[in-house]
Structure 1
Amino acid sequence: MSDLMKDIQYVKGVGPKKAYKLNKLGIFTLKDLVFYFPRQYEDRNNLKKIAQLENEDKATIKAIVIGVTTYNPKKGMTLTKVDVKDETGFAKLVFFNQDYVKNTFKSGDTILVFGKVKKEFKNIEITSCEVEHLSNAPKNTCKIMPIYPLTFGVTNKELISMIKMVLSDENLKIKEYMPKRIIEKYKLCSIDYAIRNIHSPSSKESLKIALYRIVFEEFLILQLGLFMFKNGNTESKGIKFERHKILTDIINSLPFKLTGAQNRALNEIIEDMSSIKVMNRLVQGDVGSGKTVVALLSLANCVLNGYQGALMAPTEILAEQHYVSLTETLKGFDMNVELLVGSLTKKQKENVLEKVKNKEVDILIGTHALIEDKVEFSKLGLVITDEQHRFGVRQRSKLSEKGQNPDILVMTATPIPRTLALILYGDLDISIIDELPPGRQPIETIAVDKGKRDRAYNNLVRREVEKGRQVYIVCPLVEESEAIEAKAAVELVEELKLEFFSDLRVGLLHGKMKSKEKENIMKSFKNKEIDILVSTTVIEVGVNVPNATLMIIENAERFGLAQLHQLRGRVGRGIHKSYCILIYASKSDVCRQRMSIMEQTNDGFKISEKDLEIRGPGEFFGTRQHGLPELKVANIFKHMKILKIAQQEARYIIGEDHGLYSFENNLLKREIFDKFEYAVKEISLN
């Protein structure tokens, strides 16, 4: 049997250089290669006559070569046109800078051509041509062609060729891991059939059968892994907390009344805490909905029961805001709150750690510093992670391991559509805070093309600053590189100072700055020592400056809708009317549609549904970061029926065989462990 774990560089014709490029696609082994699925297909089966071709068609024709002409329209450019005909008409095949093609055609040759049609009146040109002579067995025409996601230096033809070579090995049989009972129950094809037909479908029907197997499998493996992971945390006995009577006093001491949604979420949390089972709850709340207060009250209830609480935030700015908020609210209730962040001195850290160990600290707020080995709690009862999608599975579990089965609460201001939340968290209990506190004004959002950029700066920014307000200007997301984003931000600051705001105080914040620098800049902005803060997306989460009333987002089309909504949530936090201006450069319909959504609604849940529709679950929520398997083929909108069937089956399997210990489930279990790369150590392999 061919070894699927063989390194990709040893495949014939690959080698180290090509392997390095394939690695960028996540292809390291033969198994990665054969499980690297097409993103779409081109049906090149339907032969058309020349007279049937329409403008913008992608079509296959069978034609006879009449003649070949080569031009040099300008220096350094070659244009080759091949005249062809069939019984219904004439067309020209067009090749740019491919001088060699003129030698591959002879008058009278019968050829098959697949390409893109450009039709103006009776003139028909076909570009991006795939040409095959009829004497050969067709490889790239007259069939359903897979189209793969690519990277620089790897072509679609190369991937097709590599996969074909691997799958043509007579010794290769992809071993079945799905239990026979499930295959028969849901009429699934074998994994071997699915892999071969997903890459080289013999017909539309065989492709449909193959795709059904893969979609069902992706959902089933994801659900089973999530159920195992969650139940692994809840099987052990947890802490049984009571709803302490002093909690009501703390609620009554708040300078505002809790909203109905906050009360509902808090009651759900307290009910979980009162149970002997470990709480595992996700609290979703839109920007400004008041999740922090709910977290604070949950921590207070934990402390009133004699335990310690921990709150982990992704940034020092956010951790510090939580610290200030908790300290002020719990003043007079005899609770000691401490802050543990990277910028503390060694002596300060040691002092905090000692107090935590000796139970002199009731609530510890911090960043990743909380999960360091040196941090020892005396009696940890509740662990909260804020903006939890910023933390991987391992980081979250490392914090909860610092106690004896503490309750777990995860919070996010990225509203996840309930459908996606169910996929990502299986049966995790979900509380939704979908009501804004009274007084929060909706942010007026206006999308403008880059031609109106100068007007936005000259008019709107000056107007707000003259009123004594402050402004955020967010730099475009260039690519996943802090260094490049930092450079873009620095250049934007220079441009703004030079062309627009030489008389105003302009500050700069980006990811390459040291923590202390970021802290100082944010403090200056909060203290109104900076009029305009130019920033990259580091201000996306949690920053609270009530006097900031205008945000301008450059190249808004480069951000996801959920991220634009998160950024926009940095303004509108005070009593003044706030605005968000989205400047976009793209003229595409998709861009206009996305900008329109942002203008029409401030509802994060509606926005996230649209974002998910446009971008798909993997990119929307960064499932890889969780250590969760990527959905390569399955799509929750297109395949909702299959998702529900797979969820139902997963519940049945877990109910019958919680740890998948039975012989028939063993291979499936190994596949789950292979896919859940980072969560593996959270699930017992016994």
Structure 2
Amino acid sequence: YADLGKRRPMNRLVQGDVGCGKTVVALLAAFIVIANGFQAAVMAPTEILAQQHYVNLKPYAEPLGVPLVLLTSKLRSREKQTSTEAIAKGEARLVIGTHALIQKHVTFQRLGLVIIDEQHRFGVLQRMALRQKGGSPHVLVMTATPIPRTLAMTVYGDLDVSVIDELPPGRTPVQTRIIHAKQRYKAYELLRQEFNQGHQAYIIYPLVEESEKSDLRDVTSMTEHLGNEVFPDIPLAMLHGRMAAEEKQKIMAAFASKQIQLLVATTVIEVGIDVPDATVMVVEHPERFGLSQLHQLRGRVGRSTHASYCLLIYEGGGLETRQRLAIMEQSNDGFRIAEEDLRLRGPGDLIGLQQAGFMDLKLANLVRDAETLEAARRAALTLIQKDPELTKPTHAVLRAKLQRQSHQVADLLQTS
């Protein structure tokens, strides 16, 4: 709220755990902007997530007299034209969409706020394209991928960072259990109990199809096995990234409407829609995933007051693997898990860090050296204030190095 009252545009990152209420924060910001005569746009990474935002926000917007439209590439031509015209004329005050929002023919009459959901799913140029639809709109980006605060302030140095570190009242923490593959039947017993109560579940596998190079279980063959041998009476379907977007959307919609009770999938559902009756997340071969990714998957359940469970079925890896996975049993705090992931596996598993150049570190440890990292950030900000153009002789070497790097970035942008 304070940001929106300032003379300069807001540029803020809101990060919080899955299900913490980031969407409500964004909605309130949108209503403030709309009440002052501007339009607000929400860009989501997938069609089905955009559809969910539209359905969830509509009951709040319509009673307040706020016209909203949905714009995605899957709309019929006439629907697209109607939405596009409403946006251009300013009749649509709240616009929900996907990449379709950044198409050249989509123009806003008075765009005042850009909200980007799961910002790491969009490229730099895509985010820039939406911002350029307005003069100097406020920008609010959201992510459910927790990054330790000190690191976030450095990675996203151009953004103010806010953290939501509490869940809404009534949410029951997901119970996480580690099960050896020899006791897989225990997972199936729990699934059966939940199915009998009318609840739903996910089972995640690391591969789409069986591979001669690996003994890992896969979505395709396990969907057939589960449907024929284990749960022949339960409506199930498989979902993976090689499917056409329309087919994926159709399956997720069927799962959301409870036509499907068991969804067998890859990590394609990591950022997905809310399914309140989904109470069990089973992950096979969890040793193949980073802790932060497991935490994201776990966030697909526990979206209601129902008791919910995450079962991690591991086969190999020994004591070290078991100890690493134990962190998932001990904590539901995404920030603690992200920090542990960073300590154990390095920055490669934290989304956004590779693009920020943290993969190039040879000696530094981003957890151990967090204080040094923060000190460097403060020193850089002080330097920018004192000599923003780096014209002083003492800064000549630094200026030359930054110029070389900026040329490399420019080349990359042209290539993109």
Scaled by the length of structure 1, what TM-score is found?
Answer: 0.56
In 2: Cα distance, 1:650 partner to 1:374 partner: 40
In 2: Cα distance, 1:550 partner to 1:477 partner: 20
* 1:392 and 1:625 in contact (8 A); partners too: no
Residue of structure 2 in register with 1:561 after alignment: 291
Residue of structure 1 in register with 2:124 after alignment: 393
The counterpart of 2:311, out of the listed 543, 562, 581, is 581
Residue of structure 2 in register with 1:271 after alignment: 2
In 2: Cα distance, 1:678 partner to 1:356 partner: 34
The counterpart of 1:669, out of the listed 390, 397, 402, is 402
The counterpart of 2:388, out of the listed 658, 672, 681, is 658
Residue identity opposite 1:354 in structure 2: E
CA shift for structure 1 position 315: 1.0
CA shift for structure 1 position 320: 0.9
CA shift for structure 1 position 429: 1.2
Residue of structure 2 in register with 1:631 after alignment: 360
* 1:307 and 1:362 in contact (8 A); partners too: yes
* 2:114 and 2:137 in contact (8 A); partners too: yes
* 1:388 and 1:411 in contact (8 A); partners too: yes
Q: Which has the larger radius of gyration?
A: 1
Structure 1 gaps of 5+ residues are 1-269, 682-686
After superposition, where does 1:238-249 map in structure 2 within 5 Å? none
In 1: Cα distance, 2:411 partner to 2:325 partner: 36
Deviations 1:349-399 (A, max 9, x none): 122111111111111111111112121111110001111111122221111
CA RMSD of aligned residues (A): 2.3
In percent, how many aligned pairs have the same letter?
Answer: 49
CA shift for structure 1 position 545: 0.7
Residues 1:356 and 2:87 aligned together: yes
Residue of structure 2 in register with 1:141 after alignment: none
* 2:342 and 2:366 in contact (8 A); partners too: no
Residue of structure 2 in register with 1:433 after alignment: 164
The number of residues matched between the two structures is: 405
Residue of structure 2 in register with 1:602 after alignment: 332
* 2:154 and 2:374 in contact (8 A); partners too: no
In 2: Cα distance, 1:513 partner to 1:376 partner: 32
The counterpart of 2:137, out of the listed 397, 406, 416, is 406
In 1: Cα distance, 2:77 partner to 2:158 partner: 42
Q: Secondary structure at the match of 1:284?
A: strand
Compared CA separation, residues 592 and 452, structure 1 to 2 (3 A): same
CA shift for structure 1 position 619: 3.2
* 1:629 and 1:677 in contact (8 A); partners too: no
More displaced, 399-408 or 350-359?
350-359
Compared CA separation, residues 469 and 641, structure 1 to 2 (3 A): closer
The counterpart of 2:56, out of the listed 313, 318, 325, is 325
Residue of structure 2 in register with 1:499 after alignment: 229
CA shift for structure 1 position 402: 0.8
In 1: Cα distance, 2:242 partner to 2:97 partner: 21
Q: Secondary structure at the match of 1:570?
A: coil
Residues 1:289 and 2:48 aligned together: no
* 1:477 and 1:558 in contact (8 A); partners too: no
In 1: Cα distance, 2:18 partner to 2:9 partner: 28
In 1: Cα distance, 2:391 partner to 2:237 partner: 59
Residue of structure 2 in register with 1:100 after alignment: none
CA shift for structure 1 position 586: 2.1
* 2:116 and 2:142 in contact (8 A); partners too: yes
* 1:443 and 1:580 in contact (8 A); partners too: yes
Residue identity opposite 1:504 in structure 2: I
* 1:629 and 1:675 in contact (8 A); partners too: no
Residues 1:572 and 2:302 aligned together: yes
CA shift for structure 1 position 672: 3.0
* 1:629 and 1:676 in contact (8 A); partners too: no
Deviations 1:216-245 (A, max 9, x none): xxxxxxxxxxxxxxxxxxxxxxxxxxxxxx
The counterpart of 2:259, out of the listed 529, 540, 551, is 529
After superposition, where does 1:291-306 map in structure 2 within 5 Å? 291-306=22-37
Residue identity opposite 1:339 in structure 2: L
Compared CA separation, residues 468 and 275, structure 1 to 2 (3 A): same
Residue identity opposite 1:345 in structure 2: R
Deviations 1:176-198 (A, max 9, x none): xxxxxxxxxxxxxxxxxxxxxxx
Residue of structure 2 in register with 1:347 after alignment: 78
Deviations 1:237-263 (A, max 9, x none): xxxxxxxxxxxxxxxxxxxxxxxxxxx
After superposition, where does 1:57-456 map in structure 2 within 5 Å? 270-426=1-157, 428-456=159-187
* 2:347 and 2:354 in contact (8 A); partners too: no
In 2: Cα distance, 1:640 partner to 1:413 partner: 22
CA shift for structure 1 position 569: 1.0
In 2: Cα distance, 1:674 partner to 1:588 partner: 47
CA shift for structure 1 position 554: 0.9
Residue of structure 2 in register with 1:465 after alignment: 195
Scaled by the length of structure 2, what TM-score is found?
Answer: 0.91
